[in-house]
Amino acid sequence: MTHVAIIGGGYAGMSAAATLATRKIKVTVFEAARQLGGRARRVDYRDEALDNGLHILIGAYTETLRLIELVNSRHASAVLRMPLEWKVHEEFHLRAANLPAPFHLLVGLASAQGLGIAEKFSAARFLAKLRSNRYKLERDLSVETLLKQHAQSETLRRVLWRPLCVAALNTPPQSASAQVFLNVLRDSLDATQSASDLVLAKVDLSALLPEPAAAYVEHRGGTVLRSQRVTAIDPLASGFEIEANNQRATFTHVICAISPHQVNAFLIGITALSEIAAVIDQLRYQPIHSVWLKYPGSVSLPSPMLGLTRGLIHWVFDRETLCGQRGLVGAVISAAGEHENLTQDELGARIHCELQQHVSGLPDPLWTRVIAEKRATFACMPGVRRPPQVTPLKNFYLAGDYTESDYPATIESAVRSGIVCAEHIAQQA
């Protein structure tokens, strides 16, 4: 009888588990941490539920949103869905119009504040050109080079394209893959009107999908083991033996859904997987810093999410509007930069100073907490090679945001990879 071991209870692993459970296939999930969710998980700190990293989802995350709806009975109140609004504080404001795509964007662009008429035409021409080429490049290049080739002005790059690129790919435009960036533009801005919606979690990220997915799996006879670090995966003549917490068990299939920098510990030594291990070995990584600041309850931001371009902060979120956490503000600094040289206290103080320039009368925070993820995502560089989900080793699969996908390292690519593995197994079964 098919029994699938899923190693890793992040978004990829839990999506695979929920999909297999839907198909009535027996699963056991092994998660090393106490908390499900991996890089998108709840972090409990001083009576507040923080997230390991503040996440932005979009309407184009069709599989993530579908799975949330499938497993989370409170899905309607778990997310805040807003028509695309790109607000760079006091510099730029674009709001999508209530029209079918791509007119929602074109009309939004035409009425955007912070751009001259020539820049609006230039951005529209750029998008029209991408569209006529079906968002395909003959040869991958960096986003910055592509923007220069299409004569996008410094202002356009600063307030629109660079923030979009860093938010989507977590890679600086100088070294980010233009092709992957275009894939994101194609599916978010040029698909349907709702594909460009911003979707923000109103619950912590473990409660959004991984925990309800675990309940869904358990309700269908599956098992989700927390605090169970897998220490060995041994291929047998038929199936696999898995070791966790000094106990061994056998399974017919394995979906290895752990982060890319950890996965090779299991792949190296398995001859059939040596080529894949070499591809993973070539991946490079980019950090994301999340800075949490707790202010007195009276403090709030002008909107639930705000973009900033002139300091370290890329995005800042008001958790009161989103999750009812009064006075709690979370700032995101994507990708590598000078901030990595600061101590956590220095970084907290610096972020507070930057916020003071945007929120008048901001008092000192009661506390700050920095969560630095050094390997938040793989660096999405031009031509980057990613391993497939279905591997040459029979019944052994890889799931995760770094596996083959049109998308950069995002929740959606993690979810889709888990579904690909599960569907492949279900077809065989």
Ligand X SMILES: Cc1cc2nc3c(=O)[nH]c(=O)nc-3n(C[C@H](O)[C@H](O)[C@H](O)COP(=O)(O)OP(=O)(O)OC[C@H]3O[C@@H](n4cnc5c(N)ncnc54)[C@H](O)[C@@H]3O)c2cc1C
Which residues are near ligand X by CB under 6 A? Answer: 7-13, 30-33, 38-40, 53, 55-56, 229-230, 257-259, 262, 288, 290, 373, 376-377, 400-401, 409-412, 414
Nearer to ligand X, 31 or 320 (CB): 31
Within a 13 Å sphere around the CA of 284, how many CA atoms are in the beta-carbon half? 13
Nearer to ligand X, 421 or 425 (CB): 421
Shortest CB 166 distance to ligand X, Å: 11
Q: Is the peptide bond before 363 cis (omega within 30 degrees of 0)?
A: no
Q: What contacts 422, CB < 8 A, 6 or more positions away?
A: 15, 16, 17, 19, 20, 23, 25, 255
Give the torsion sign (CA, 298, 301, 305, 311): negative
Please answer whether residues 355 and 329 qualify as being in contact, where contact means their C-beta atoms are separated by less than 8 angstroms: yes
Shortest CB 89 distance to ligand X, Å: 19
Shortest CB 210 distance to ligand X, Å: 8
Please answer whether residues 198 and 81 qualify as being in contact, where contact means their C-beta atoms are separated by less than 8 angstroms: yes
- Residue 255 in 3-state DSSP? strand
Shortest CB 149 distance to ligand X, Å: 27
Nearer to ligand X, 24 or 385 (CB): 385
Shortest CB 38 distance to ligand X, Å: 2
Nearer to ligand X, 10 or 163 (CB): 10
Please answer whether residues 16 and 399 qualify as being in contact, where contact means their C-beta atoms are separated by less than 8 angstroms: yes
Nearer to ligand X, 147 or 258 (CB): 258
Nearer to ligand X, 56 or 101 (CB): 56
Let me know how many helices (H) and strands (E) the chain has, helices first. 16, 20
Nearer to ligand X, 29 or 362 (CB): 29
Shortest CB 15 distance to ligand X, Å: 8
Q: What is the 3 state secondary structure string of 178-247?
A: HHHHHHHHHHHHCCCHHHHCEEEECCCHHHHCHHHHHHHHHHCCCEEECCCCEEEEEECCCCEEEEECCE
Shortest CB 131 distance to ligand X, Å: 24
Please answer whether residues 102 and 131 qualify as being in contact, where contact means their C-beta atoms are separated by less than 8 angstroms: yes
Quote helix, strand, coil % in the chain, to nearest 5: 40, 25, 35
Nearer to ligand X, 196 or 410 (CB): 410
Residue 356 has a CB neighbour count (10 Å cut-off) of 13
Question: Given the DSSP bridges, would you call strands 48-51 and 92-95 parallel, antiparallel or unpaired?
Answer: unpaired
Shortest CB 365 distance to ligand X, Å: 20
> How far is Cα 423 from Cα 50, in angstroms, rounded to an integer?
33
Nearer to ligand X, 102 or 210 (CB): 210
Shortest CB 12 distance to ligand X, Å: 3
Query: CA 409 → CA 3, 72, 133, 367, distances in Å?
Result: 28, 23, 24, 31
Nearer to ligand X, 12 or 189 (CB): 12
What tokens does 155 get? 């202002």
Nearer to ligand X, 152 or 403 (CB): 403
Residue with tokens 């950090």: 287
Shortest CB 244 distance to ligand X, Å: 7
> How far is Cα 219 from Cα 17, in angstroms, rounded to an integer?
12
Shortest CB 361 distance to ligand X, Å: 29
Beta bridge partners of 368: 293
Residue with tokens 């927390």: 226
